[in-house]
Structure 1
């Protein structure tokens, strides 16, 4: 797909991602959906209102009425879409830096569009085969004031509030100035937790930290856990569809360990689970131990959603799917990543043991990640050619579903182009920290050399 990547479409706002571009996406989506109403929501980015206005103009121009939800987490917009039976456009760049924005398209079942549906929208976009309304049939906009409150109520209704409340937990929360700042503090308080916060003011400049919930951005959360003697730290990305955790000592918990712990509690013989090609061996081990079948897709929520829906249509049981970045699906609840729901399910595990004990069985692995930026298509092409050359010469099992994953048995390394940023990403994992670093550094240096020679 040329327009939609692994999780919607994103770019630097007012440069690559202009109001005109978003208006055209909205016209294409409105034409493809043929719906009477569509919801529009946004995260806290400073360009969100501008781009939501453009989306509303595009939709109303093809005769669609618009429900304007305002600032809501992506799972909140999805919950609204499902409840009302209307498609939705979410204006968000998720974990990307403040200057970015983007668009996610959600069907009337509250699920992000699968690849075939996105391709239909994309064909209309590229061919400009919009279906504009006549002057007297254009759509109208209506503001919806309670979408965030309705979302919180929905999640509270489907988690084990009694178990969580009885655990008497103190939650240190870092919503990162994103959409979760509007919902998660109240959500965890209503679960019966004592809540302390950092970066909890909604602010699209993201003054306290960048939106991506990775260790280098979350030092304040670790400090808050230690200072308040909290039982757990929870961080969201910009649109709050992901949750990352800190343990009771203020130490970062690898997202892969969290995914494995939740999977161990959910999966059983005969189940199917889905992850991406950067899957941790932790998750592979849990699938094998529980008797579940693991299927891998290219990286990105769109690809995982597409495969989960196919499996469910075939009558398979898929209790859990997701990636180690904190984006986890519980399809029996909803085929959507939901940071608040994921966090609540993790809090349920803390009724019997502290965080460090819950994730202890899934330790012993070391992960290294590197990014190489590029400015031109020639640099990108040269780096991918270098990754392919390294793969061809390696004594490892090669997987090319998404980039080049080399599995050495005791460790693996993956190089792939980002679907949302001008980056080639390198991932490596091994039991030995030095082994993981060597694999990542070797691939990283090969990419750098190729970039400089391009």
Structure 2
């Protein structure tokens, strides 16, 4: 229809139509019915779905159209709750995957077309962009597939108060959004702004198709300063640290933090191509690299992080990578936390240590850890932290230590962990390896089967967890009893965690982010945990 010029301002104030109008001669505009998309339908159509943390999918499936729609739904949701208003800034960052710059631009287009101001924070860690935005009461968006291979990618959404949680994801999934129409040079409506493959058509949008502004370096600078201000000046003087850089967006930040605290730093293994470093299932080549570097470099420790810098790696002086859940216990100890939240898959040494007033267990995924941390804070706890088996560390309350305050950052962070552990070793007069002797001797090992269909994994696990205890114990012992003995207890909080009478543990779980089947094992010795994992992986491989 044709709308008089005097109504143009009224239409322009309604963001839902902002991308659906076009000026024509005579001072009139044409209002166009945009493409309507139900996000839940888009999930099924594209295969891009919310997983353990954020939306994930094949990079080829995460088309501009899909990413634009997801971002629009996220912004609509926050605006409907009064968390953001048109004209607000929205911080955007990404990792070094080949597909990330394109997706970041699609996200920025949706931000701009929604009436908000995109801020390009560049290629920096997820906790860095989240910290920057939360300090300003802004929403933020991180384009990353974290640790998974670079044929996949993802988007993590952050409210001004922190991570999008599961109820938020459910609300976003129910959203219906409008995508902009495409206009020809004469103002006629031609088609969608996206081609048949879901990519943005050149010159199809008002304001152009490039929406990312120049990089704003404030988020990176403030993130580095966060740790230089909190930890004592020169506290790592005389220490030698190797930073395994590979393709992590944390690689230069880790160098800056450790050097800024006085350590002598050597950068190692920088890569121009993306390397999917998984801190829960460390690649054999990364184990070998660490061993070689430690032997040649005489380091106090090696440190690294995954692709988006929210999962840390730290080794002992011999180059042996610490398990993430063990690293989390030691970090919490240094920070003098009283309340600890961790998923059901984490090492049981956290309870056995008796270092903490309360330990709460959750499903796997930072949203569940955050929900439980929020409950602890609501109950009056004053020193609440959380960590995951992948090593990511979350801080729910401000931490007061050595006369300084570290503000809360309730999202996974990689930098805090290796610094805290190295300082804990220094304070105790031991090496990083020596710290492990202070823990109850419980050892974990985990691995994954790639390209394992999720529906098959779920069906196999369901066959062992029908709800009838006697039946389930019999089925489990028929499968694992010869190797591990009788079943003592079964926990189905997330996947299936089986504790045997020997206190050995088998935990089976389909990944929430990729078609993978994971297995976590725990035993009294490192060798036994590794042996258990090999046995389980062989059994599970026969399930395909």
Coarse TM-score class (shorter-chain normalised): 0.7 to 0.9
Conserved 8 A contact 2:163-2:411: yes
Return the offset for 1:75.
1.2
Aligned-partner Cα distance in 2 for 1:326–1:188: 19
Return the offset for 1:267.
4.7
- Could you tell me which of 226, 232, 252 is aligned with 1:160? 232
> Measured at CA, do residues 191 and 266 of structure 1 come closer, stay the same or move farther in structure 2, by a change above 3 Å?
closer
Q: Which residue pairs with 1:425 in the alignment? A: 518
1:31 aligned onto 2:102: no
Return the offset for 1:183.
1.7
> Measured at CA, do residues 225 and 446 of structure 1 come closer, stay the same or move farther in structure 2, by a change above 3 Å?
closer
Aligned-partner Cα distance in 2 for 1:108–1:137: 27
Q: Which residue pairs with 2:165 in the alignment? A: 114
Which structure 1 residue ranges, 5 or more long, are not aligned? Answer: none
Conserved 8 A contact 1:391-1:404: no
TM-score, L = length of structure 1: 0.87
- Could you tell me which of 353, 365, 370 is aligned with 1:305? 370
Please give the secondary structure, in 2, of the residue aligned with 1:384. helix
- Could you tell me which of 247, 261, 276 is aligned with 1:191? 261
> Measured at CA, do residues 190 and 442 of structure 1 come closer, stay the same or move farther in structure 2, by a change above 3 Å?
closer
Aligned-partner Cα distance in 1 for 2:425–2:527: 32
Deviations, residues 345-402 of structure 1 (Å, cap 9, x unaligned): 2222132321111222226333232323455455234322344379442422111110
Which structure 2 residue ranges, 5 or more long, are not aligned? Answer: 1-39, 44-48, 182-204, 399-407, 477-486
Aligned-partner Cα distance in 1 for 2:527–2:420: 34
Aligned-partner Cα distance in 2 for 1:38–1:428: 41
1:264 aligned onto 2:333: yes
Please give the secondary structure, in 1, of the residue aligned with 2:541. helix
CA root-mean-square deviation: 2.8
> Measured at CA, do residues 386 and 28 of structure 1 come closer, stay the same or move farther in structure 2, by a change above 3 Å?
same
Within-5 A mapping of 1:410-421? 410-421=503-514
Aligned-partner Cα distance in 1 for 2:410–2:138: 16
Return the offset for 1:304.
0.8
Return the offset for 1:437.
5.2
Aligned-partner Cα distance in 2 for 1:387–1:318: 38
Conserved 8 A contact 1:63-1:132: no
1:91 aligned onto 2:143: yes
Aligned-partner Cα distance in 2 for 1:32–1:302: 17
Conserved 8 A contact 2:243-2:251: no
1:5 aligned onto 2:51: yes
Aligned-partner Cα distance in 1 for 2:167–2:177: 18
- Could you tell me which of 62, 71, 74 is aligned with 1:17? 62
Query: Would you tell me which structure has more helix in proportion to its own residues?
Result: 1
Bigger relative contact order, structure 1 or 2, given CA contacts below 8 A and separation 6+? 1
Aligned-partner Cα distance in 1 for 2:457–2:236: 48
Aligned-partner Cα distance in 2 for 1:323–1:378: 25
Aligned-partner Cα distance in 1 for 2:349–2:441: 9
Aligned-partner Cα distance in 2 for 1:142–1:310: 39
Aligned-partner Cα distance in 2 for 1:130–1:108: 24
Please give the secondary structure, in 2, of the residue aligned with 1:38. strand
Deviations, residues 411-445 of structure 1 (Å, cap 9, x unaligned): 11111110111012111111145654565456445
Aligned-partner Cα distance in 1 for 2:225–2:118: 23
TM-score, L = length of structure 2: 0.74
Aligned-partner Cα distance in 1 for 2:134–2:147: 24
> Measured at CA, do residues 221 and 375 of structure 1 come closer, stay the same or move farther in structure 2, by a change above 3 Å?
closer
Within-5 A mapping of 1:77-156? 77-109=129-161, 111-124=162-175, 128-130=176-178, 142-146=213-217, 147-156=219-228
Conserved 8 A contact 1:198-1:221: no
Aligned-partner Cα distance in 2 for 1:71–1:337: 17
1:397 aligned onto 2:471: no
- Could you tell me which of 296, 302, 308 is aligned with 1:233? 302
Return the offset for 1:182.
3.4
Name the larger-Rg structure.
2
Return the offset for 1:158.
2.0
- Could you tell me which of 339, 343, 347 is aligned with 1:280? 347
Please give the secondary structure, in 1, of the residue aligned with 2:163. coil
Conserved 8 A contact 1:398-1:406: yes
Aligned-partner Cα distance in 2 for 1:368–1:182: 29
> Measured at CA, do residues 339 and 378 of structure 1 come closer, stay the same or move farther in structure 2, by a change above 3 Å?
closer
- Could you tell me which of 384, 409, 419 is aligned with 1:319? 384
- Could you tell me which of 418, 436, 447 is aligned with 1:370? 447
Conserved 8 A contact 1:6-1:301: yes
Within-5 A mapping of 1:326-365? 326-331=391-396, 332=398, 333-352=408-427, 353-362=430-439, 364-365=441-442
Deviations, residues 4-29 of structure 1 (Å, cap 9, x unaligned): 21111222211x33222211111111
Conserved 8 A contact 1:160-1:348: no
Please give the secondary structure, in 1, of the residue aligned with 2:242. strand
Aligned-partner Cα distance in 2 for 1:251–1:368: 13
Aligned-partner Cα distance in 2 for 1:404–1:197: 40
